[in-house]
Structure 1
Amino acid sequence: MAKVHVLMVPFPAQGHVTPLMELSHRLVDHGFEVIFVNTETHHARVLSALPASGTAVLGGIHLASIPDGLASDDERRDLSKLVDSCYRHMPEHLERLVADMEAAGRPKVKWLVGDLNLGVCFEVAKKLGVRVASFWPSSAACLAILLSVPKLVEKGLVNEQGVPALPWDAAAPGVADAMDGQQWRATRTPALFQAVTRFDKFKNLAEVIICNSFQDIEAGALKLFSDILPIGPLFADRELQKPVGHFLPEDECCIRWLDAQPDRSVVYVAFGSMVVFDPCQFVELAEGLELTGRPFLWVVRPDFTAGLSMAWFDEFRKRVADTGLILSWCSQQQVLAHRTAACFVSHCGWNSTMEGLRNGVPFMCWPHLFDQFLDGSYITNVWRTGVAVSPNADGIVAKEELRSKVDQVVGDAEIKERAWLLKEAACGYVSEGGSSYKNFQKLVNQLGE
C-alpha cells in the first residue's frame, strides 16, 4: 500500500517549527511520508544545525522551502511585518511548490497539516483538493481566547482595533481565568489583530484541529472547545535523539557536564529563540546566577543581547567556570530529562512549558512576549509548579530577586511534589490507553483514510 504524503507547514519561528517536527517524526513512525516546508531563511538554518550525517537522520521527513516575501536582510523579529508578508506571499509560493512536486512526478499530497497561525495556506490546500488538519502550537486556553475574538468584536466587548472595552475576565468569562492582559496588548497591531480575527474562519477549513496539550492541565479550555484534539505532550522519540528543526547547532558537551553534577542540583536557564535582554538586565541575570552558588547551565544565543561589554562577560565566565556552563544552544528536552535538573528559569513559551512539565521540573517564570504570560500564569496560579519573578520599579529583575526565587523554587517541597505529579500524569496521557495516545491514533487513522 502506497504511503500517504503529508505537507507540514509551520509558522516561521522556532517555537512553531519544533512541535511540528516532533509530530512529523511520529507520523513517519506510523508509515507516512512528510514534506516539511520552512521559509527559505529558516530552511537554511535548520540544514546548518543538523548533525554531520545531515538529512539522513530525518528518515521519511523531506525538507523543502518557500520564500516568506521579505528581503534577506529584513528584520524577522518584527512579528507584525513578518505576519503581513507571510500572509501576502506564502500562499502563492506554497501552491507553486505543490505544482512543481507533482510536475516532477512526486506522489500527490493528500493532507496539509498546517499551523493555524498560517491558516491562509489552508485556502490553498482546499483549492488544490488537499485535505487540511490544523495544528495549534500554544495552549488550548490561548486558542480558545483567540477564537472568541470575532464574537467579542460583534458584541462590542472588543473594538475593531482590538482594544477591550472591559477587563478580560468580564469580556471573556470562562476562557480568561489564566489570561494576562499583556498577551492581548501584544496582538494589537493591525497585521496581528487582523490575522487573529481570521482564525475562526481558518479553523473551519480544517477537518480536525490538534494541539500539544493534555486533558488534566487544560480541562476548562478543552471543555469549552471540545473539538480541539489534545495529543501532547509531544516528543519526537523517547530517547530524545531525533533532530527537531533547531535553528542553531546543539552543543553536545552539556550532557557530559550534567553527568558530573549531583542529582537535582542544576539551575537550567533558557529564554527560547526570540527574547532579547538589554545589557543591564543581562548583567543582573548573570550575577544573580552567580549569587545562587548553585551549578547552572545557561543558554546564551549569539543574539541574546547587544551592547554588552565582552571584557566583562569574559571575566564573568572565568569567575563561574567551576560552577556554570554557558553555551549558545542545546537539546532542551535532554537537559530537562536529566537527573540533575532542579529548576527551569524560563520565558514560559509553550514548548518549554510542556517540556518542563513532562519532566517534572519546577519553574522560575520570566515571561516576555505574547502567550508566555498566560503560560506563566498557568504555572504559578493554576498548576502551582513554580514562582514568578518580580521586576523592580525600573522594570529590572534584580540579581537578589533571582537568587531569592531560585532558592524558593528549589527549596519548596510542595512545588516539587506537584511538578512530579504532573509529570506522572503527562506520561500516563501519552502511554497506551491514555487520552492523548488515543487522540493521536485517531489522527493517524484519519490521515490514513
Structure 2
Amino acid sequence: MSRPHVLVIPYPAQGHVMPLMELSHNMVDRGFKITFVNTESIHKRVVAAMSKNSDYEDFINMVAIPDGVETEEERNDLGKLSNTMIKVMPGHFEKLIKKINESKDGDDKIACVIADQTLGWALEVAEKLSIQRAVFWSSSAVLLALTLHIPRLIEDGIINTEGIPLTNQMIHLSTTMPAMKTGHFVWACFGDSDLQKTIFKLMFDNTPSTKLANYIICNSFYELEPSAFNLVPNLKPIGPLLASSRLAHFWPEDLTCLSWLDQQPAKSVIYVALGSFTVLDKRQFDELALGLELCGQRFLWVVRPDLTNDGTDSYPDGFETRVCSRGRMVGWAPQREVLAHPSVACFLTHCGWNSTLEAISVGVPLLCWPYFADQNLNKEYICEIWKIGLGLKPDENGLISRDEFKTKVVGLLGNEEIKTSAMELKEIAMKNVSSGGASFKNFEDFIEEIK
C-alpha cells in the first residue's frame, strides 16, 4: 500500500528546520512519505553534520532548491536572505512539485504541503496547484497571537507602519493575556533598524497567507499558554514535539560528552548552550568562561566554531587547565540527550523556543540569557509566568559579569520552588503527548485529515 506523500519546507534556520524534521519523523511513524525541502546551503550543512552511520531514512527524501543568495556571509544578513528568497524560491518550489507530480508513479503525488509560517509564498504555490496546505508555527502561540494582532497594534497607535513601538509600555493583547513589553516585540529585538523593518515586513506580509492554510499547527500545548490559544482558536498545538531520530543539525554532534556526563554525580552539571545564532564579543565570552570557573560547579559548555565575533574562541589564559577536572567544552552537543541526562542540574540558555520546550519536557530549570527575536518574550514567560527559571541581568555596560553568573547559578540551584514548578510543567507536557492527551489527539486528527 502506498504512503501519502507530504512535502515539508522550513525557513532556513536551525530553530525552524529542527522541529519540522521532528514532525516529519512523527509523520513517517504514522505511515507517510516525506520530501523535505531545504535551501542548498542548509542542505549541505545538514548532510555534512550527519554522522557517517546514519542513512537517509527510507521515507524521508531530503532535497534542495536555490535561495538566490551568493555567499554565506550574505546569508547571515537575515533581511537580505528573506528578500532574496521571496524572489527566487517560489519558481523553483513550483517546478519541484510539478516534477514530483508528473513522475511516472501516479501514487507519488504530493497530498499536502506543510510550510513554515514565514514562507507564505509556499502556501500560494500549493493553492495554485490545488494541494492541501498546512502552516507550521515554530515559536510560541503568544508570538503568533501578537503577529496576527499587528493591524490592531498599528490602529491603536502602539506601533507605526514599520513596526517601531511609539512608546515604551506594557500592553495586553486580551484581558486574559499577561502584560507584554513593547520593547520585546520580536521584530524590535534585532539591533539594526533596517533589519527590524525587514523582519516586521516579513511577519506582516505573511499574516494573510495563514488564511490560505487548511490547518495551523504548532509546537506547544494548551496549558503552557492558554490565553494565546483563545486568541488564535484555529491553532492546534501538537507539542512538545519529540522524535527518536533527527537529521537536522548544522554542526556535527560531539557524542563523547554523554559518556563524560555518565561519570558526573546526579544533578551536578550546568549545561550551557546559546543556540545557533548567538554571537558574543571577546569580553563577554571571557566573562562567561570566568563565571563558569567562579561557580565551582561542573559544566558542559557548547562552544560553536562561530560563537565569538572575532572567530577565535580563545579562552582566558590558563582557563582550560584550571577547569579540566570539572568542565567540558564541545563544538555541538546532542541537546535532548544532554538535557535528559540525570547529571544535568540546570540549563543556561538563549531561550530559543525549541530549547525551552526541550527543557520543559525533561523538567530542567533554566538560567535565561536571551539574544534576539522572540527570546526576550520567552524569557518573560519562563521567569514570570511559568516560574521555571531565573534571568541574568547585564551591568550598566550591557555585560553579564562573572559574579552575576555565579550569583544566579547558586540562586537557581538552591531554589526548590523553581525545581518543583519545572517538574510539574514536565508532567503536564508529557501528559499532552501521551495517548489520549490533547496534543496527541490534535496530531492524530491532523494525520487523519491529510490521509
Asked if these proteins are the same fold (TM beyond 0.5), I'd say yes
Corresponding residue of 1:383: 386
Give the CA deviation at 1:17: 0.4
Q: Given the two structures, how large is their TM-score scaled by the length of structure 1?
A: 0.95
Corresponding residue of 1:79: 78
What CA deviation, in whole Å up to 9, does each residue of 1:138-185 have, x standing for no partner? 000001001111232344443211123355534744556245623341
Corresponding residue of 2:309: 306
Please state whether the residue corresponding to 1:126 is helix, strand or coil.
Answer: helix
Corresponding residue of 2:232: 225
Q: Given the two structures, how large is their TM-score scaled by the length of structure 2?
A: 0.94
Q: 1:338 aligns with which of 316, 331, 341?
A: 341
Q: 2:208 aligns with which of 179, 201, 209?
A: 201
CA 1:4–1:318: 2 relative to 1, 3 Å: same
Alignment partner of 1:445 is 2:448: yes
Corresponding residue of 2:30: 30
Give the CA deviation at 1:312: 4.3
CA 1:369–1:310: 2 relative to 1, 3 Å: closer
Q: Is the 8 A contact 2:267 2:345 kept in 1?
A: yes
Instruction: Write the distance in 2 (CA, Å) between the matches of 1:180 and 1:167.
Output: 6
Corresponding residue of 1:161: 162
CA 1:311–1:250: 2 relative to 1, 3 Å: closer
Please state whether the residue corresponding to 2:306 is helix, strand or coil.
Answer: coil
Q: Is the 8 A contact 1:389 1:402 kept in 2?
A: yes
Q: Is the 8 A contact 2:170 2:180 kept in 1?
A: no
Quote the sequence identity (%).
42
Corresponding residue of 1:120: 121
Aligned residues: 443
Superposed, 1:4-43 pairs within 5 Å as: 4-43=4-43
What CA deviation, in whole Å up to 9, does each residue of 1:356-412 have, x standing for no partner? 111100010000111000100000000011100000010000000001101111110
- Higher mean C-alpha deviation, range 108-117 or range 182-191: 182-191
Corresponding residue of 1:92: 91
Runs of 4+ in 1 over 4 A off after TM superposition: 173-176, 308-314
Please state whether the residue corresponding to 2:118 is helix, strand or coil.
Answer: helix
* Aligned residue identity for 1:200: T
Corresponding residue of 2:183: 181
Q: 2:434 aligns with which of 431, 434, 439?
A: 431
| Uncovered stretches (5+) of structure 1, i.e. residues with no partner | none
CA 1:251–1:170: 2 relative to 1, 3 Å: closer
Give the CA deviation at 1:3: 1.2
| Uncovered stretches (5+) of structure 2, i.e. residues with no partner | none
* Aligned residue identity for 1:326: M
Please state whether the residue corresponding to 1:146 is helix, strand or coil.
Answer: helix
Superposed, 1:209-220 pairs within 5 Å as: 209-220=216-227
Superposed, 1:246-285 pairs within 5 Å as: 246-285=249-288
Q: Is the 8 A contact 2:351 2:370 kept in 1?
A: yes
Instruction: Write the distance in 2 (CA, Å) between the matches of 1:416 and 1:311.
Output: 34
Q: Is the 8 A contact 1:270 1:346 kept in 2?
A: yes
* Aligned-residue CA RMSD (Å): 1.7
CA 1:398–1:48: 2 relative to 1, 3 Å: same
Corresponding residue of 2:104: 105
CA 1:166–1:392: 2 relative to 1, 3 Å: closer
Q: Is the 8 A contact 2:165 2:182 kept in 1?
A: no
Give the CA deviation at 1:327: 0.3
